[in-house]
Structure 1
Amino acid sequence: MRNGEVHGNNSKIKSGQLSVIDIDQNIFLKKKTFPVNELYGQDEGEEMGRNNHIKDVKIYKKMYEESIQNPELFWGNIAQSSLRWFKLFTKVYVGNFKKGNVSWFTNGKINACDNCVDRWVEKDPHKTAIIWEKDTPNDYKKISYQKLLEKICKIANLLKLYGVKKQDTVTIYLPMIPELVYSMLACARIGAIHNVVFAGYSAGSLCDRIIDSRSTILITCDFGLRGGKLTKLKHIADGAMDMCGMVKTCIVFKNKTKRGDIGNSKNHLYYYSRSIDSQANPDVPPDGGSGEDAHGSIHHNDRNNRTFECMGDAHPDYLDRIHRNDYVDGENDNGNSDRSRGVHTLNKIISKTNTAARKGGTIIGEGENCSRKKIEREEGKNGDCFNERQIYFPTKGDSNLQKSFTPPCRSTTSQERNNTFYCEVENGKSNFDESICTLKEGRDVDGSALMKNMRSYCPVEYMDSEDFLCILYTSGSTGKPKGVAHTTAGYLLYAYTTCKYIFDVTDKDIFGCVADIGWVTGHSYVLYGPLLNGITTVLFSSIPTYPDCGRYWNLIETHKVTQFYTAPTALRALMKHGDNFIEKYDLSSCRILGSVGEPINPETWRWYYNVVGKKKCVIVDTYWQTETGGIVIAPIPNLFKIKPGCATLPFFGIELEILDSKTLEPMKGSNVCGLLCIKSPWPGMLRTVYGNHKRLVGTYFSMCPNYYFTGDGAYRDEDGYYWISGRIDDTLNVSGHRLGAAEIEHALVQHVCIAEAAVVSFRHSVKGEGILCFVVKKKGGFKNYGEKSDSADGCDANGNIVNGTLVHQPSNVNDAVKSTHNYSDDKLLEELRLYVRQVIGPIATPDIICIVPDLPKTRSGKIIRRILRCIANGMDDFGDITTVSNYEVIDVIKSKFKESKEKRYPTSYSYEKRMQEKGDRTAHRSVN
């Protein structure tokens, strides 16, 4: 069915009811991505002996049937036995999907922080709650449940000091540092609603979320560090606050991640590092030249042949723990330590000036007396050195850089031991690096400094079961992100239960979900799910390829991770680099390997199972959404055979239905595909779209009356297993993150020379779905962007609209237009990519932008995105095109898209052709 059309033979479908469903019912089968007729795992009737909670399939089936037939009894029993209540609920759930007015555990009183932290402190205060793995490998910090509670209470008291009350919204814009967890649970402790915004979003996106959530308090920090790349978060936050004008108080924490990959991991002495050259500089050590100036700036080449600039930085919180004996020079340890990291070493101190001491205390060596800094030395059990990195000292300092640098520490001392001088930094006053972060008087406060004076205990608020716990913004087809609101008791119970059963967790497990907490996966399976089960969770601050493609596997080996949870996008990126990185590490601690964010393609599934899991780990491919609160389809470990790429079976309490996309009637039996819906309420489901309940009903409950409509298509095979085919509306799923096509389109048409835009997804071998933008330039002399326009509705050579008004014109675009009269299409495309990146964030950067003369439209002027999706994914069957008013443009768009894709990915079409000649049906899944 196409937009706005009504089938005359079905009186149940009202005009416009399926306005976001623009599909052919059989479009999913045409993709030929499923089913895969392979089975992994033992037979259904066999007892595995490995599942810690469900003994066999019979028990599972009994539990599932009870959860569907008697949900009050099923969920009521789990809620009473698994959560701590101040007042027990009187009714398990009330309401239905008709008006979206569902409530769970009514009249109960509970607190999320109490359930995640307090009750485990009472049981075992010294148990590790969080392992914070920083951006640098093997640099981590363990935080006990006791220490976690103290930090939470301090921030809770700080929030109360600035007037935060029960059910106020606090926006949190932080990277993956402990303060993020502390802040979220502090909000939960005092009854505030936390609104976490992913720390990769732009100022504009942050501003939108502050306004929509009606937040007057913002928590951020000076910078983020991810994959060696520094992001000035406070600078971005300043831009957002200036735009929205709502924030009365901004609490700024100092990121205690030591900025770079140099230093003493035991004592957390690290250094700022930024890449300055993508290739090795022959004048920089170790290949040649000198590196360090008087204020601690070092130039060096890393193992990946990139040139970095580093700046020394040590934070006072760690300095009082530093002792001379902790520093061991790799050459003098005689192989007595498994790992040694050194500091500045000089055979002879040449000079030490007061200026140098004030500017960071760097000791300056000259000529042949210049020695080296031992960066890292790793040794085997026999003392063999298998990894060593070095940085060399310079011949002289740079006075200009020295004058511009204000470090957090003031002076140095030295001590001779084993004929080597060891520099030790004395405790000094710490301030924010003004080049990265400034505080605005009257609005911004130094959270790190204020924390020291806060009490380490704060009483918990008694929260009603249906009080809001959090808001998570997710993209929608209307362009404006939706504030998905989750309430306290139901969300907690569902996060607890899904984590327990789907990942088969036990008390001693180390849970390694590497998602960012800015997304729902991080909320449910980095923070709430593991902590509600009282286990240890990993807070991962880096990326899978930093400093190399063994980072994930090093994480598992180092921390003995038992459950590992990541996205297919990351796995596909690592697959391309071969198996050598995996073979270096011992992954035997891992029992469960999870996949999240998008359907995992069979090739990646097999690699995950055979190479990473060594055929000994269960793969749990999980399907769920921000709106569902937790996993809704996944295999229970060790109970069923699993098919590569298949989500398998619904979780407890989830009753699935596949509806015919034309009639909206349930499709019974096997081998059917259609619209994926959920038939009845479950505890973790969203309660509303924050501030706009009508949007909740219109988006999720009106399209398919009496059902929750997921917005995805699905296929049910002969075994009753479910295969997810992807979004059927205008929402994109890029690297496991949902983005609104309308939001990207809106950004594109703000450009001075773009008239129309349509955004769809295409299959991407790494990201799952890539972002494809079709754009139409404004009429009148735009063959070369920037040339003078002969038309009244174009723009002139200065980028000014003729006889029109531009609502928002980015300065960088205007400046670029002014710079040349021969502004090519290539330059225009680059500007468009940059602008989308700036307006929405890097995650929304288009993969392909295709300039076309027009877009396929109905006679009423509506863009037919169904045709564009077919073109993007290599399908020639467009269905009924009788309503297309300009059908001649279809062939032109196909040709333009092929050219654009070939230009962007030069080998894609030749590769696809070879695959088709071989008769390989999976070619489309392998082509960018």
Structure 2
Amino acid sequence: MTPDHAWHPTQELLEHSNVAVLCRKLGVDGYRELQRRSVADPDWFWTHAMRDIGVVWDVPPLRIRGEDRRIATTRWFPGGRTNLVDSCLERHISEGRGDSIAFRWETEDGTGGLLDYRQLAERCARIASGLRALHIGVGDRVGAYLPPGREAFELLFACAHMGAVLVPMFSGFGVDALAERLADARAKVLVTADATARRGVRHDMAAIARRAAAEANTVRHLVVVGRDGAESLPESPGGVRPVSGRAAPRPETVRWEELTASPPCPRVSLPAAAPFLLLHTSGTTGRPKGAVHTHGGFPVQVGSEVRYNLDVRPGDVVFWVTDPGWVMFPLVAVGSTLACASVLAYDGAIDHPEPTRLWRLLEDHAVTVFGSSPSLSRSLMGRPLPDAAAPRRVRILGSTGEPWTEDAWHWYSAEFGGKRCPVINISGGTEVGGSLLGSAPTLPQSPCSFSGPCLGVDAAIVDAAGEPAAEGEKGELVVRQSWPGMTRGLWRAPGRFAHTYFRRRPGLWSHGDLASGVGDEWFVHGRMDDVIKVAGKRLGPAEVEQAVLGHPRVVEAAAVGVPHPVKGESLWCFVVTREGPLAEAESARIRERVAAALGPAFRPSRVVAVPGLPRTRNGKVMRRLISDLISGDPPGDLSALVDARVMDAILAAVRSQPR
């Protein structure tokens, strides 16, 4: 992949973007020089970045980092005391911006509303007081099983206000997945909605939450948000299930309105290392891991990314298509409010009731910064566009979740963005507390590329021997120094933390992504677990899928390696098609497309048409699950998938379609 710049920064971004202003203030010659200095002297960079971002300290830290600089044990901001609510909400009120809109929301039926910073701060103080009345104190865990909307946003800041630890969970989880995470966190309270709607169909969340809370055996109060006008709260179906040989107590039900009616309570001052979030990973490789993020590190990290990469400024309206259970929800919520911007949340299908619902949302709410996953672009590419295809006010396009294919990137940049917006690609994860790699709004962009590591992130690409990978060669993405957003450990699993991230390469954070660098730009090719090795040759699935998606009838594709007695692995391609199954001649043409693009050695052994791919609610296609399914290996926890039934459909397709 050779850099071929498809977008160049405008003069406005070169002069007035947040990162350009910071570079002038610090006397630094542009983003790349700032990135180099930020890893050469992290204390210097984060000192200036914190001030620029607007982080408020009750007690300033003694230093930026503790004396132990080992990556796994670095302490950030020792001695400091803070509460991120001061930085995100109270600061703007005290500076005379309390009337600025902090949050706006809309549901699928068109209802919605606005909250300014003053209203949001007061409501969060009331909700925090209501949680205290339920005997929640500093450090106690509060589960959130909510659709994207007002309550998820308010609860995040309410927990921070009074020092509780928020445990967000995907709004599509079933009983077992929800109960497992509640039990792991030992959550005392679970907040849910009575129901949500997708494509006009009501989904009963409270019934699932009630059963999961009882099964977890730690939840004492179930707080229910009345969203669909139900007169009474749903009863637990089938009674309480026994747990560990004894009946679990039935959680007491409390209405959300009771929390919000409480008198405001003062916010608490907390050590910088006090936990703010407990975010579980998807759990597809075993028991879900709980990543811990703090009041000190998380806002500093996401504040930097949102300010310097996404270029969010006061008055911007930020809309990221995400679920409250994914790290992008708190990242956007905290990062945008630090910038005194407005966050939009939408609860519903973005193409319902009409295909152009997304465009209407962007127009009605005057969205200026929009983000999604590449899979969303691929799903929209084949649909008719509205007359004014490029949203008028959007100036920044964001992207994360999985690697791009070039055709989808070009569509997002040119057709959706009108060629005027940078595509700010960011890549990190739940445990990262933000991103390791990012695009800069002041640098030219090639399709699918990153400008390199985010500011303050000392990342590298290494080969199998741990040496720097040659230009253009794929290697593993690693990090050599701690960064503020890095998880402070895995919840109740310190040994698992060291084993997961530092066992393979001692002294380096092994992130597990396959990456390469060409010139000054970086590219991500997927997870190391997804790497396919055919006859000793290694490639990432994105390269194969790029070739497959060039076929006019293919909508989605996943390339996986399947064990082979001679080659080690053979290449199989799973495709979702338009208008019915593939004919054998079409499958043959897809094989030839891949062979022509990547070489005869990588001609797929099979092309299987399937009704869908195993995808998490954050948009990631779980290729490893397909490989395990075909190989006969246990797939592990499927609770993070949008629809686990797709696995049975894939197996049936493999068995029914000829080789």
Taking structure 1 as the reference length, the TM-score comes to 0.57
Paired position in structure 1 for 2:446 = 643
Distance 1:64 1:608 in 2: 27
Q: 1:687/1:47 Cα in 2 relative to 1: closer, same or farther (>3 Å)?
A: closer
Q: 1:44/1:67 Cα in 2 relative to 1: closer, same or farther (>3 Å)?
A: farther
Q: 1:900/1:562 Cα in 2 relative to 1: closer, same or farther (>3 Å)?
A: closer
- Describe how 1:223-262 pairs up with structure 2 within 5 A: 223-255=195-227, 259=228
Select which of 661, 685, 696 maps to 2:486: 685
Give, as a single letter, the amino acid of the residue that structure 1 aligns with 2:254: D
- Describe how 1:728-743 pairs up with structure 2 within 5 A: 728-729=528-529
Q: 1:910/1:472 Cα in 2 relative to 1: closer, same or farther (>3 Å)?
A: farther
- Describe how 1:466-615 pairs up with structure 2 within 5 A: 466-476=273-283, 478-525=285-332, 527-578=333-384, 580-581=385-386, 583-584=387-388, 587-615=391-419
Distance 2:107 2:608 in 1: 33
Distance 1:238 1:434 in 2: 8
CA contact (8 A) 2:399 2:424 kept: yes
- Describe how 1:373-384 pairs up with structure 2 within 5 A: none
CA contact (8 A) 2:142 2:190 kept: yes
- Residue correspondences, number: 575
Distance 2:407 2:350 in 1: 19
Select which of 727, 739, 743 maps to 2:527: 727
Distance 1:505 1:674 in 2: 32
Q: Which has the higher helix share?
A: 2
Paired position in structure 2 for 1:264 = none
User: Residue 921 of structure 1 aligns to a residue in which SS?
Assistant: helix
Distance 1:675 1:898 in 2: 24
Paired position in structure 2 for 1:913 = 588
Q: 1:433/1:472 Cα in 2 relative to 1: closer, same or farther (>3 Å)?
A: closer
- Describe how 1:389-428 pairs up with structure 2 within 5 A: none
Structure 2 unaligned regions, length at least 5: 241-247, 533-540, 550-556, 611-659
CA contact (8 A) 2:137 2:164 kept: yes
Q: 1:879/1:898 Cα in 2 relative to 1: closer, same or farther (>3 Å)?
A: closer
List per-residue Cα deviations over 1:602-646 (Å, max 9, x = no partner).
100100111111111111121111111112212211x22211112
User: Residue 446 of structure 2 aligns to a residue in which SS?
Assistant: coil
Paired position in structure 1 for 2:20 = 54
Shift of 1:659: 1.6
Paired position in structure 1 for 2:61 = 89
Pair 1:664 & 2:635 matched: no
Distance 2:471 2:439 in 1: 18
Q: 1:156/1:47 Cα in 2 relative to 1: closer, same or farther (>3 Å)?
A: closer
Q: 1:487/1:906 Cα in 2 relative to 1: closer, same or farther (>3 Å)?
A: same
Distance 1:496 1:670 in 2: 31
Distance 1:233 1:64 in 2: 45
Q: 1:73/1:37 Cα in 2 relative to 1: closer, same or farther (>3 Å)?
A: closer
Give, as a single letter, the amino acid of the residue that structure 1 aligns with 2:462: L
Give, as a single letter, the amino acid of the residue that structure 2 aligns with 1:211: A
List per-residue Cα deviations over 1:124-148 (Å, max 9, x = no partner).
22211111021234x3211111221
Shift of 1:543: 2.2
Over the matched positions of the two proteins, sequence identity in percent amounts to 24
Shift of 1:509: 0.9
Shift of 1:230: 1.6
Shift of 1:508: 1.6
Paired position in structure 2 for 1:743 = none
Select which of 125, 128, 133 maps to 2:101: 128
CA contact (8 A) 1:131 1:142 kept: yes
Give, as a single letter, the amino acid of the residue that structure 2 aligns with 1:189: H
Q: 1:650/1:254 Cα in 2 relative to 1: closer, same or farther (>3 Å)?
A: same
CA contact (8 A) 1:512 1:564 kept: yes
CA contact (8 A) 1:495 1:630 kept: yes
User: Residue 65 of structure 2 aligns to a residue in which SS?
Assistant: strand
Give, as a single letter, the amino acid of the residue that structure 1 aligns with 2:419: K
Give, as a single letter, the amino acid of the residue that structure 2 aligns with 1:705: P
User: Residue 89 of structure 2 aligns to a residue in which SS?
Assistant: helix
Shift of 1:218: 1.2
CA contact (8 A) 1:590 1:617 kept: yes
CA contact (8 A) 2:34 2:455 kept: yes
User: Residue 870 of structure 1 aligns to a residue in which SS?
Assistant: strand
Distance 2:353 2:14 in 1: 39
Shift of 1:730: 7.0
User: Residue 151 of structure 2 aligns to a residue in which SS?
Assistant: helix
CA contact (8 A) 2:427 2:437 kept: yes
CA contact (8 A) 2:574 2:608 kept: no
Q: 1:905/1:729 Cα in 2 relative to 1: closer, same or farther (>3 Å)?
A: farther
Shift of 1:225: 1.9
List per-residue Cα deviations over 1:503-544 (Å, max 9, x = no partner).
11221211111211210011101x111011111111121222
Q: 1:530/1:649 Cα in 2 relative to 1: closer, same or farther (>3 Å)?
A: same
Paired position in structure 2 for 1:796 = none
Pair 1:207 & 2:179 matched: yes
Shift of 1:927: 8.5
Select which of 418, 424, 445 maps to 2:253: 445
Give, as a single letter, the amino acid of the residue that structure 1 aligns with 2:467: E
Pair 1:191 & 2:157 matched: no
Paired position in structure 1 for 2:50 = 79
User: Residue 690 of structure 1 aligns to a residue in which SS?
Assistant: coil
Pair 1:176 & 2:148 matched: yes
Distance 1:246 1:766 in 2: 50
CA contact (8 A) 2:71 2:480 kept: no
Give, as a single letter, the amino acid of the residue that structure 2 aligns with 1:207: A
Which moves more between the two structures, 541-550 or 593-602? 541-550
Shift of 1:555: 1.2
User: Residue 133 of structure 1 aligns to a residue in which SS?
Assistant: strand
Q: 1:61/1:36 Cα in 2 relative to 1: closer, same or farther (>3 Å)?
A: closer
User: Residue 436 of structure 2 aligns to a residue in which SS?
Assistant: coil
CA contact (8 A) 1:111 1:188 kept: yes
Shift of 1:706: 1.1
Shift of 1:188: 0.6
Q: 1:516/1:530 Cα in 2 relative to 1: closer, same or farther (>3 Å)?
A: same
CA contact (8 A) 2:93 2:118 kept: yes
User: Residue 449 of structure 2 aligns to a residue in which SS?
Assistant: coil
CA contact (8 A) 1:633 1:648 kept: yes
List per-residue Cα deviations over 1:569-588 (Å, max 9, x = no partner).
1111111213x23x346612
Paired position in structure 1 for 2:427 = 623
List per-residue Cα deviations over 1:800-849 (Å, max 9, x = no partner).
xxxxxxxxxxxxxxxxxxxxxxxxxxxxxxxxxxxxxxxxxxxxxxx99x
CA contact (8 A) 1:870 1:877 kept: no
Paired position in structure 2 for 1:705 = 506
Distance 1:555 1:688 in 2: 38
- Describe how 1:90-105 pairs up with structure 2 within 5 A: 90-94=62-66, 100-105=72-77
Distance 1:45 1:205 in 2: 49
User: Residue 103 of structure 1 aligns to a residue in which SS?
Assistant: coil
* Backbone CA RMSD of aligned residues: 3.7
Shift of 1:96: 6.1
Distance 1:539 1:767 in 2: 34
Give, as a single letter, the amino acid of the residue that structure 2 aligns with 1:92: I
Give, as a single letter, the amino acid of the residue that structure 1 aligns with 2:105: W
Paired position in structure 2 for 1:355 = none
- Describe how 1:740-779 pairs up with structure 2 within 5 A: none
Distance 1:51 1:907 in 2: 48
CA contact (8 A) 2:141 2:185 kept: yes
Select which of 126, 131, 136 maps to 1:164: 136
Pair 1:676 & 2:455 matched: no
Shift of 1:666: 2.8
Shift of 1:451: 3.4
Distance 2:546 2:356 in 1: 20
Distance 2:545 2:252 in 1: 42
Shift of 1:227: 3.1
CA contact (8 A) 1:223 1:436 kept: no
